[in-house]
Amino acid sequence: MSSTSSVSFLDDDSQRELDDLNKRINALQERKHALTFEAFQVHTTIRTLQSRAAHITNKTAPVSRLPSDVLAIIFEESRRPLIPWSNIVKRPLSPEVQLSHVSSRWREVALSTPALWTTIRFPILHKEAAAMAYLQRCNQAPLHVHIGPRISDPDSLRFIAAQFVSRLNQIRELTFDTDELQELYALFPLFADAPASTLRRLKICCNDTRGASGVVPRLDIFKAGAPLLSDIRLSALSVGLPQCSATTLHLEPQPGPGNPLSRLAFLDILAPLSATLTILHLKGFISGFHQEPGSAPVELPALKELLVYGNTLNHGFNVFRNISTPAITTLSLVNVRRQGLSSIHKFITRTSPEHFQHLRTLRYINCDIDDDLDVYLPHATSALTELAVSVKHHTHLLRLLLNSDRQAALHGVPPLWRNLHTLTLHVSKPLDREREDVDSDEEDDPPPTMGLLLEVVQERRAVGRPLDLLRIEGPHARSFYEEFTTLLVKTHEDLHTELFSASLPSSVDVQDSEMDWAFVAYYIGNQYRLFMFKKHQQFAPHGTPATHPRGLPVMAYPSTHAQVP
């Protein structure tokens, strides 16, 4: 039965009582609304008064007495540390956003400092709305833009074309960070014909180790020119670069040994930079097989620093058959195998002094140096002032130096490497504590490596060519440094020593380093991938395949804590 029909059968007394109750209910509801509104007003007033009281109290804090321009400088400095992403549920807020949420004055200073809003990482840290806010707040200041990964969808590409390509003349630093080659194929046409008149730094990174198979087509970018481009970091991909005055080129390892960059593609990358290039780091895989007989190497007349990893040589690529470096001053070789190193040594001794007369620094890090290394190499690099070797890998090179110094002292002639003033030891592993003579009763005998090093130091002094600096570097450098400096004190040797640990702490202050700008992009990109991997592991259904940060498929089970490298 409906309420209407029930009311129609009420007697007069009941009807009057019901009407009275409804009036009282309506009156109480109106009073409730009025009290609720009044409570809201009171709450708002209290918050306003509290804010004003906090504002007055904050004025007494020492930081509040800082001028706004000084506070802005502090804000800019606070953006440097790189902090790991510890929250598995949500991405961290950028430092500039956190600073703008502290107080009204800090927000006013932050919003009026365009330099705080010049770094945009889309979509890692900044979605479309956040990116638009940054573009408005930067006030035409030079931009640092990090694009990718996961930007191949049509909406992202449209946003990139509308907001970043149109502002390319405002971008000073640009990073493409992708997990798939298809993302690069989608991105590059947007930037192919656009001029980049203010671009100085360019990083193109592709982590696609599975999809890289067969011949990868060449990707052209900035065909309209990038006259100020000076620093380029590339994965081992065929990229058509514009004619520019770049001084630095790093070739990174991706996409992997299964698909090395062809020799001709590498030379095509190098050609537009040949006249101005001063720093060349080769870490990626390059194929050197089926080289054209008699082909002339690319001349790099301004090149000063060359770094070669073993990856570059593993597919038959010969560095000095393909590039000519008459003015080189620093040569660094890392993880190079015996055959590749022997080829480099033969080229140095055969072409000296025409090609290596200016070589001042020679670095061997974890290389396979032949035990029968002879004196031809020191003769061919007589102008050397700094030598770097790895502990436990290259002791025979130190013995060669020691024996040549002893012969020079015996015959009264100048030693080999007569200008050597700096010796650098790279300590990548803990020092072996075993002694050569395990039955020795002399407990204070130093380990063999330290004993050899001490003899080198003493013999250099004996021939009148003392070392000016002994630098110890690497992840296990500290313990070696402390023990060897103690040994120097015991033997009354006066030698300046320097410690440089290559291991990076969890918070790395590299933001304003000219050489490490690309590491910042690499670090944040990897933090994002690790964040997504952990998030997928935690929230994915039972047995759902997860994607490892390095692109490898794994199985995620909620009850199992997977070890993430």
For residue 121, list its beta bridge partners: 146
With 80 as the cut, is the pLDDT of residue 562 above it? no
Supply 427's token pair: 């300590």
Give which of 136, 188, 137, 181 is closest to 160, Cα–Cα: 188
3-state secondary structure 489-533: HHCCCCCCEEEECCCCCCCEECCCCCCCHHHHHHHHHHHHHHHHH
Amino acid occupying residue 147: I
CB atoms within 10 A of CB 227: 13
Query: 134 Cβ partners below 8 Å, 6+ apart?
Result: 117, 118, 120, 126
DSSP annotation of 544: E
Q: Which long-range contacts (CB under 8 A, 24 or more apart) does 223-228 make?
A: 223/192, 223/193, 224/193, 224/194, 224/195, 224/196, 225/195, 225/196, 225/197, 226/195, 226/196, 226/197, 226/199, 226/202, 227/197, 228/197, 228/198, 228/199, 228/200
Pairing relationship of beta strands 544-547 and 553-556 according to DSSP bridges: antiparallel
From the centroid of its chain, how far is CA 282? 16
- pLDDT tens figures, 473-491: 988 889 899 999 999 999 9
Give me the pLDDT at residue 196, please.
92
Give me the pLDDT at residue 256, please.
56
Which of the pair, 213 or 124, is modelled with greater confidence? 124
d(CA 420, CA 402): 13
Give me the pLDDT at residue 371, please.
66
With 70 as the cut, is the pLDDT of residue 269 above it? yes
Give me the pLDDT at residue 430, please.
79
Averaging pLDDT over each range in 89-93, 146-150, 170-174, 395-399, which range is the top one? Answer: 170-174
DSSP annotation of 168: G
d(CA 382, CA 420): 9
Give me the pLDDT at residue 505, please.
38
**Alpha-carbon separation of residue 61 from 57, 65, 66, 156 (angstroms):** 7, 7, 10, 45
With 80 as the cut, is the pLDDT of residue 212 above it? no
Give which of 452, 447, 403, 445 is closest to 423, Cα–Cα: 452
With 90 as the cut, is the pLDDT of residue 136 above it? yes
The model carries a pTM of: 0.82
How sure is the predictor about 432, in pLDDT bands with cuts at 50, 70 and 90? low
